[in-house]
Amino acid sequence: MTRSRPLRFYCDESGNTGTHWLDPEQPILVHGGWLFPEGAEVAVAEGMAGIRRRHRLQAPELKWAQFARSGREHAFRDVVELCLKHGVMPMFMVMDKQYATAAKVVETFFDPAYNHHLPMAFTGDFETKKGIAEAVRLSPDLVATFGPWLRERGAPPADEVRAFADRLAEHLNVVGIPSLAGTLHDVTDAEVENLRGEFDAEPMMRSTTWTVLWAMVAKVLEFVRPRGLEVEIFQDQIVRFDALVGMIGNQPGVTRVELVDSKLHLGVQLADLLCGFLRDVFAKIAAGEALTKAELANCADLFMLTHEFESWSGNLPESTWAAFASVAVPEVRRRYGSERPDYR
């Protein structure tokens, strides 16, 4: 029996700010790309030649900035329709960096390794931890204090860590989580010292890229492995992440990982378009801004894809998930004429 060739996944990122998690100019980070089935690349390349002509895209390399210009609102919609027509699936992770910073607070101060009140099983209690992150996000001062600790290599002073724990406890009491607030009042000296060491890691480990790239690859592997498939990953060139690239290359189901020049790979250029679109549209959704018809159509496709294939996810507050559903679901209903579709 002939073994099928590996699928190809071309990926890129948009909104990367390294260890600066709270850059107000870049609130959203996306790492994602397109999973190509065998034989799809030629058809997509031919279709992209037509899209270039229709939308007068003259630059040799496709970049999101070209598609974001006024008058080209439907250009990326054409790209999405072309890819989906040929079975090319968008797969990605999207991160709200402020919310992710709040989640980092939770992962740090409610890690059983640093909080002796918590059992080791708490590490996997994701629903509870998400609830705490939502609560922490309600305190901009806490988030603003913690963010620079991630950015500036070096352990914060022990007295600042204890003061932060007290402020965090006070906030959790105010928002109605007293049981967890009580675990922060008697942190031991040893726990403080171990906790402080988290902030002295290499910049790569403290970066937004590490977190989201790894999560994106996990999504891809969750798709290919149960189907008995393998994947080759082509990532736009990144620097100082050799260790992470090596870890990805050693994952079962990954036949190779290659850092490539986007100028030479149409798939990576299409990943740039996807990530740029997602960064902009999720920023608009989070801010409550209206979407264009083309953006709504793309959101409807993304909504169906994640429900059918779990092809993407996000480190996002509940308010953003709800806002995304509020724009995507009516478009799905309009498209298919369903009064009461069941999406659960």
Q: Which residue in 146, 176, 151, 177 sits closest to 163, CA to CA?
A: 146
Q: What is the pTM of this model?
A: 0.93
Provide the pairing of β-strand 312-315 with 89-96. Answer: parallel
CB atoms within 10 A of CB 122: 16
Rounded distance between C-alpha atoms, residue 286 and residue 288, angstroms: 6
Predicted local confidence at residue 3, as pLDDT: 58
CA 224 – CA 227 distance, rounded (Å): 5
Nearest CA-CA partner of 292 in 333, 331, 334, 335: 331
How far apart CA 233 and CA 89 sit, in angstroms, is: 14
In Å, how far from its chain's centre is CA 168? Answer: 26
Q: Cα separation of 93 and 278, whole Å? A: 10
Give dist(CA 264, CA 180) in Å, integer: 52
What per-residue confidence (pLDDT) applies to 344? 38
Side-chain half-sphere exposure of 27, counting CA atoms within 13 A: 15
Query: Angle at CA 270, nearest 5°, toward 268 and 275?
Result: 95
The residue among 321, 262, 324 whose CA lies nearest residue 289 is: 324
pLDDT (tens digit, 0 to 9) for every residue of the chain, 344 residues total? 445 799 999 999 999 999 999 999 999 999 999 999 999 999 999 999 999 999 999 999 999 999 999 889 899 999 999 999 999 999 999 999 999 999 999 999 999 999 999 999 999 999 999 999 999 999 999 999 999 999 988 889 999 999 999 999 999 999 999 999 999 989 899 999 999 988 888 888 888 888 899 999 999 999 999 999 999 999 999 988 899 999 999 999 999 999 999 999 999 999 999 999 999 999 999 999 999 999 999 999 999 999 999 999 999 999 999 999 999 999 999 988 865 444 33
- In contact, 284 and 259? CB cutoff 8 Å: no
Residue 279 corresponds to which tokens in the numbers above? 């960064």
Residue pair 288/298 in contact by the 8 Å Cβ criterion = no
Count of positions (residues) in the chain: 344
Q: Tell me, what's the pLDDT at 343?
A: 39
Predicted confidence at residue 341, as pLDDT, reads 44
Of 30, 79, 77, which Cα lies nearest the Cα of 298? 77
Strand partners, 33: 11, 91
Tokens of 188: 């031991």
Q: What is the DSSP string of 159-187?
A: HHHHHHHHHHHHHHHHTT-HHHHGGGTT-
> What count of other Cβ atoms lies within 10 Å of the Cβ of residue 33?
29
Q: What is the pLDDT of residue 206?
A: 87
What was the pLDDT predicted at 34?
Answer: 98
- For 89, other C-beta atoms within 10 Å of its C-beta total 19
